[in-house]
Structure 1
Amino acid sequence: MWARRATGGTVALARRALLRSAETTGAGVARLSKYVSERSSGFGDTVWTEFTPLALKHKAVNLSQGLPSIPVEDFIIDALRQQAQPGWQHQYSRASGFPRLVEVIADYYSPEYQRTLQPLTDVCITSGATQGLFLFFQTFVNPGDEVVIIEPFYDSYVPQVEMAGGVVKSVTLRPPKADLGRPATSADWVWDPAELEAAFSERTKAVVINTPHNPTGKMFSREELELVARLAQQHDALVLADGVYEMLTYGEEHLQIAALPGMWERTVTLGSAGKAFNLTGWKIGWAIGPQELVQPMQLTQQYIPFCVSTPLQHALASAWEQAIENGFFDRQRRRFLGKRERLMEILNDAGLQPCMPQASYFILADTSNVEFEAPSQAPFARDYDFCRWLTSEIGVAAIPPSCFYTEPNRHLGARFARFCYVKQDDEIEEAARRLPRLAQYQRAATH
């Protein structure tokens, strides 16, 4: 009984802390701003700083952040529990990865890359994939180097490139046209090949390709990846392949750009235990590539975290071996597929126009036929106003996708909201009970 009270108290304390931080963010900043470096002075609060406390404040069903609320499977918990014993697992690990874990990863991915990966030289363990991004940019990007990024994008890309002194050259995926005549899918988000070609120059150091893609759920086609590969080779650029959602695909083949002809030598691919195993709090990721690229990253790694949590690496290695044997990855895909189908149905029934994702665990829904009144506040964008209103008035939290764009292209996300479906069934069903209230706000059809 006490344990339950203590847990509840901890949750309540965390809730109060989040709400208090949302109210006091920025306090004292003006007084201390003279000490902030130029590379950090332009940073503001992220979208998560606003919407997670907002969901708590209004007791909304939180379908915003990609934070799985489904239970972690028992075999993973058991693998972690085994580390709570005396032993060397409580001390420093090898800086670039616990040997057993990098061996498991090398064995698992070798068939995908059509080569035998060398665990000690082709793999580097990172403190989550986000730190893997930082490691790549710090290792390879010099001041003035250009990095091509596809937008919308994971919101860490641009700040991390800029912290390394790089210059972002963005290429935009255009949203599906409203008059497709059929339900849209994430494959309908496409770039202009000419715009992509124009983004490359003699100053291009790297291109970031995120497939499966956040926030659209798009899986880039072979033709699209071959265009990126051709341009990277033509301009002697590196490729950073962000593949954190690769194990969350629904029936379509995930293509590794590093497996295309001539691309292994210039590609680093990132993965994430948070996405693959629903372990976002463990913060374990990995970088895979040729020794010529991974070894410099391993050397840089020594001076950032030095090493990643040793007991968690031990536990992940054990859990991964068991996951292969017990069919975890296929079981998880089937589970998430059911949740995707249910949330698609709920959003459709609520009068929104969801775009079917090929992968990941997010759905972008077109909200343009919803008329609502809400006080506008910074950032001033329709999708921000809609998501604030949806959270406070309807009781369902979503994320405004314009935060995943550069400033000139924020308008392209304005008619959408991003919903996450890796949630407990009762949360999804509670959203199903609340979202029908949107019917009274539907714009009348025009003929």
Structure 2
Amino acid sequence: MTTTITIPAIKTHARLDAIQPAKRWGGSRQDVWSIINEAAAASPVQPFVNMSQGYFGWNPPEFIREAAKQALDQFDCNRYAPTKGRLRLREAISETYSPLLGRRLDPATEIAVTTGANEGMLSVWMAFLNPGDEVILFEPYFDQYLDDIQMAGGVIRCVPLHPPSKGDVEVSSSSEWTIDFPELERAISRRTKMIVINTPHNPTGKVFAREELQCIGDICVKHNLLILSDEVYDRLDYAPFTRVATLGPEIQQRTLTVCSVGKHFFCTGWRVGWVIGPARMIETIATAHLRICYCTPGPFQEAAAVAYEQSLQNGFWSQTREMMRQKMTRFCEVFQELGLPYSDPEGGYFVLVNLSKVRIPRRYPFPPHIQARKRDFHLAWFLIMELGVAAIPPSEFYSAEHAHLGENYLRFAVCKDDGILDLAKDSLRGLAPYINKS
């Protein structure tokens, strides 16, 4: 006997319309990266110079590229890698960073290789945050932190870095972006789980002073908080650089340090990073990493191991630091010519320029999605459409409450070839007629 099943007619579109994104995404605005890149693609000005994102304008060094080519022919590199990472890479990280941290890192238990620093931080948050746990961020922050923390169920609490008092009229050191420590303590509640530090800092270029890190560490000990220290720009420090994990055993035992092979060796597309921390925490982070992506590509891990080994001997770190500092100086010459103040970076490869003196013509035709944003989005759009230069508006790196602190700045990435920097400088000289001289 054959049974006939009748499926009632349904209104397909109505049913599909009822399927909505998760609440963490449902109210999201368009992200700053797609806004700027789409605008850059539509710019009528040619040649166009994109100084918005921090991708390098050159290839990784030959020694890491050659190591990657050789690793592709190595049978064991093309299998699943161990979840914590290939042992050779963990040993190379230990050899490189143990002297910097003042103690021997156990490569078997205190290091986890991750698929980029970003996935490393996501693994930290997935490992330690319960729904409703609060994470304190210093503003401005790298915007990726927000969604990653929220995906893990965390709640953001923001504490601003206060801008230099004369940042709108004169060049200032990025060290003048300061923390109000009573304000930081007021942000801590019984739900607070962690404070995130980023040093050298994106986008200000600030290198947190030892005294500042000691205060943060002491607060975390007092309130029994974890510290996540994002140190992906640690090889680009132009001022004394302190690693928070070196500030005593109580601070070290609650600190998780994240770094990036991509930032270290100009290979951001490889997506290799790592987390250093106490063994019991690394075990949990590795479990989260296992469930997020299982493991990180083996050939790139092997190449990174070779790169760290060779960099202990070939002077690569000091050469890189000097090269990037020269690029920063070269690029900022145009702002000195124009009389536009900027925050002189102590680290990294971004420079924040204050454009409060720039007067955009009245009734300039901004599209609605730009018109509705802060002044820095207007400035960014104006530079793209009129001068052919893209930069990032940093108000995107603030909570709504504090976004006004960034609305007169733009962030430029100087990790480009000198010819590109010079082309950008020539284009930016077109700002001169729009600058208020009074």
**Same fold by TM-score greater than 0.5:** yes
Kindly provide the CA deviation profile for residues 176-195 of structure 1, in whole angstroms up to 9, marking residues without a partner as x: 12279852010011121110
Q: Cα distance 1:122–1:276, how it changes in 2: closer, same or farther (>3 A)?
A: same
- SS of 1:83's partner is helix
State the Cα distance separating 1:106 from its structure 2 match. 1.1
- SS of 2:392's partner is coil
- SS of 2:205's partner is coil
- SS of 1:120's partner is coil
The total of aligned residue pairs comes to: 416
Correspondence 1:50 to 2:50 = no
- SS of 1:177's partner is coil
Alignment of 1:156-167 (within 5 A): 156-167=144-155
Task: Tell me which of 395, 405, 422 is aligned to 1:429.
Answer: 422
Question: CA–CA distance in 1 between the matches of 2:303 and 2:42?
Answer: 36
Correspondence 1:133 to 2:121 = yes
Kindly provide the CA deviation profile for residues 118-142 of structure 1, in whole angstroms up to 9, marking residues without a partner as x: 0011000111111111111111011
Task: Tell me which of 367, 374, 383 is aligned to 1:381.
Answer: 374
Look up the match of 1:295: 283
State the Cα distance separating 1:57 from its structure 2 match. 3.0
Correspondence 1:346 to 2:346 = no
- Contact 1:244–1:270 (Cα < 8 Å) also in 2: yes
- Contact 1:40–1:163 (Cα < 8 Å) also in 2: no
Alignment of 1:228-267 (within 5 A): 228-250=216-238, 252-261=239-248, 262-267=250-255
Question: CA–CA distance in 2 between the matches of 1:128 and 1:414?
Answer: 30
Report the identity percentage.
Answer: 37
State the Cα distance separating 1:168 from its structure 2 match. 1.1
Question: CA–CA distance in 2 between the matches of 1:280 and 1:180?
Answer: 33
- SS of 1:370's partner is coil
Kindly provide the CA deviation profile for residues 374-420 of structure 1, in whole angstroms up to 9, marking residues without a partner as x: 33433511000100110110111111000100111111110000011
Amino acid paired to 2:365: P
Alignment of 1:267-282 (within 5 A): 267-282=255-270
Question: CA–CA distance in 2 between the matches of 1:179 and 1:197?
Answer: 26
Amino acid paired to 1:253: P
Correspondence 1:223 to 2:211 = yes
- SS of 2:109's partner is helix
- SS of 1:302's partner is helix
Select the structure of larger CA radius of gyration. Answer: 2
Look up the match of 2:10: none
Kindly provide the CA deviation profile for residues 69-102 of structure 1, in whole angstroms up to 9, marking residues without a partner as x: 1232211211111123251211100011000001
- Contact 2:114–2:272 (Cα < 8 Å) also in 1: yes
Question: CA–CA distance in 2 between the matches of 1:33 and 1:315?
Answer: 48
Using the TM superposition, name which of 228-237 and 86-95 deviates more: 86-95
- Contact 2:205–2:346 (Cα < 8 Å) also in 1: yes
Question: CA–CA distance in 2 between the matches of 1:62 and 1:324?
Answer: 33
Using the TM superposition, name which of 31-40 and 129-138 deviates more: 31-40
Q: Cα distance 1:358–1:31, how it changes in 2: closer, same or farther (>3 A)?
A: farther
- Contact 1:375–1:385 (Cα < 8 Å) also in 2: no
Question: CA–CA distance in 2 between the matches of 1:180 and 1:67?
Answer: 28
Q: Cα distance 1:32–1:320, how it changes in 2: closer, same or farther (>3 A)?
A: farther
- SS of 2:208's partner is coil
Kindly provide the CA deviation profile for residues 238-287 of structure 1, in whole angstroms up to 9, marking residues without a partner as x: 0000101110111x221111111111110100000121111110111100
Look up the match of 2:410: 417
Q: Cα distance 1:226–1:70, how it changes in 2: closer, same or farther (>3 A)?
A: same
Q: Cα distance 1:111–1:144, how it changes in 2: closer, same or farther (>3 A)?
A: same
Using the TM superposition, name which of 302-311 and 84-93 deviates more: 84-93
Question: CA–CA distance in 2 between the matches of 1:190 and 1:133?
Answer: 24
Task: Tell me which of 25, 30, 39 is aligned to 2:24.
Answer: 39
Correspondence 1:194 to 2:194 = no
- SS of 2:305's partner is helix
Q: Cα distance 1:434–1:182, how it changes in 2: closer, same or farther (>3 A)?
A: closer
State the Cα distance separating 1:351 from its structure 2 match. 3.3
Alignment of 1:82-231 (within 5 A): 82-85=70-73, 87-178=75-166, 183-231=171-219
Kindly provide the CA deviation profile for residues 132-188 of structure 1, in whole angstroms up to 9, marking residues without a partner as x: 111111110111111111000000112222112211111001111227985201001
Question: CA–CA distance in 2 between the matches of 1:41 and 1:352?
Answer: 39
- Contact 1:100–1:317 (Cα < 8 Å) also in 2: yes
Question: CA–CA distance in 2 between the matches of 1:222 and 1:31?
Answer: 55
Correspondence 1:304 to 2:292 = yes
- Contact 1:367–1:415 (Cα < 8 Å) also in 2: yes
- Structure 1 gaps of 5+ residues are 1-27
Correspondence 1:337 to 2:325 = yes
Question: CA–CA distance in 1 between the matches of 2:127 and 2:18?
Answer: 28
Using the TM superposition, name which of 160-169 and 281-290 deviates more: 160-169
- Contact 1:95–1:298 (Cα < 8 Å) also in 2: yes
Correspondence 1:372 to 2:360 = yes
Question: CA–CA distance in 1 between the matches of 2:320 and 2:391?
Answer: 23
Q: Structure 2-normalised TM-score?
A: 0.92
Look up the match of 1:6: none
State the Cα distance separating 1:53 from its structure 2 match. 3.0
The alignment yields a C-alpha RMSD, in angstroms, of 1.7
Question: CA–CA distance in 1 between the matches of 2:338 and 2:78?
Answer: 50
Question: CA–CA distance in 1 between the matches of 2:389 and 2:170?
Answer: 27
- Contact 2:170–2:340 (Cα < 8 Å) also in 1: no
Look up the match of 1:395: 388
Look up the match of 1:25: none
Q: Cα distance 1:31–1:399, how it changes in 2: closer, same or farther (>3 A)?
A: farther
State the Cα distance separating 1:38 from its structure 2 match. 2.5
Determine which structure has greater relative contact order: mean sequence separation of CA pairs < 8 Å that are 6+ residues apart, divided by chain length. Answer: 2
Look up the match of 1:16: none
- SS of 1:201's partner is coil
